[in-house]
Amino acid sequence: MQELYITGAGVSSASGIPTFRGSDGFWTVGSVNYTPQEMATRYMYENHPDQFLLWYFKRFIAYKDAQPNSVHKWLSNKNLITQNIDGLDAKAGNKNYISIHGRLDQLITYKDEMEFQKPIDAKWNEIDSSLEDSKLILSLFDKFKILETNNFKPKIKFSLKPFVLLFDEMYTEIYRFSEAEEWMNAAKKMIFIGTSFSVNITSIALRIGMSNNIPIEIVDPKPMKLNYPNIKYFEMSGEEYCKLREDL
């Protein structure tokens, strides 16, 4: 593998999706009673599925119809690991990219997170987003197979769960973690686009890249500077970088 691209939320901002830690970001805007770090947890889903699913649906599924931008399209035939859960790389035509944190447009069965399974299509159009909250919760309960007979709590190996890595979950084979590590170790060069390096997967990739002494490129208007000699910074947007590469 010659080049491995690793992307973050900055890549999807041009598609109208907020970055995770900006003023309007997913991890900045919580619910009335809980912070995003409390909401986006397995614990919250297990104990307060009504609040979890309502928050999840409103904060994430609002962007289900977003369309890929020029960066997604340019990356569509590249070796790619993305932190983004928006599924825009799939919409752009990338057939085998690794969505290391999951995808908005898919669901998995709620069970032991170490047990491998293949995600299924979420079919979000089955949910009427115009419903008032009390009815929307019931519709989400039906969608995720959360039953009154189980006190409206998710049931192991029966209920469904968003295919999204939550704060209190681990990178597992459901998210193709071992394959991602193999890609990182095989890469002759790593290019990071639109990431703040505040997520574990970027730390893992950097450590592998540095230990293998391969060239690293960071594409960001205000990149974080790293203590590594074999690195090049492109202080520009992803769109500008892709155009630059095309013109070379």
Contact indicator for 44, 33 with CB cutoff of 8 Å: no
Alpha-carbon distance of 231 to 213, in angstroms, equals 10
Alpha-carbon distance of 81 to 78, in angstroms, equals 10
Residue 205 is classified by DSSP as H
Query: To the nearest whole number, what is the mean pLDDT of the chain?
Result: 90
CA geometry: angle 73, 100, 230, nearest 5 deg: 75
**Residue 27: per-residue pLDDT:** 44
Alpha-carbon distance of 240 to 131, in angstroms, equals 41
160, amino acid identity: L
φ/ψ of 40, rounded to 5, equals -85, 60
218-233 pLDDT, tens digit each: 999 988 888 899 999 9
Contact indicator for 220, 52 with CB cutoff of 8 Å: no
**Residue 65: per-residue pLDDT:** 84
105-133 pLDDT, tens digit each: 999 999 999 999 999 999 998 999 899 99
User: Domains, the chain, ranges and CATH?
Assistant: 1-16+68-101+170-248 (3.40.50.1220), 18-65+120-164 (no CATH)
Q: Which residues contact 226 (CB under 8 A, 6 or more apart)?
A: 206, 216, 218
> Rounded mean pLDDT of 190-211?
92
Pairing of strands 216-219, 189-193: parallel
φ/ψ of 189, rounded to 5, equals -160, 140
Confidence of residue 39 (pLDDT cuts 50, 70, 90): confident
Quote the crossing angle between the two packed helices 49-60 and 133-143, to the nearest 10°: 100
Confidence of residue 21 (pLDDT cuts 50, 70, 90): very low
Confidence of residue 28 (pLDDT cuts 50, 70, 90): very low
Residue 206 in this model has a pLDDT that exceeds 70: yes
130-159 pLDDT, tens digit each: 999 999 999 999 999 999 999 999 999 999
Q: Which residues contact 153 (CB under 8 A, 6 or more apart)?
A: 46, 47, 49, 146
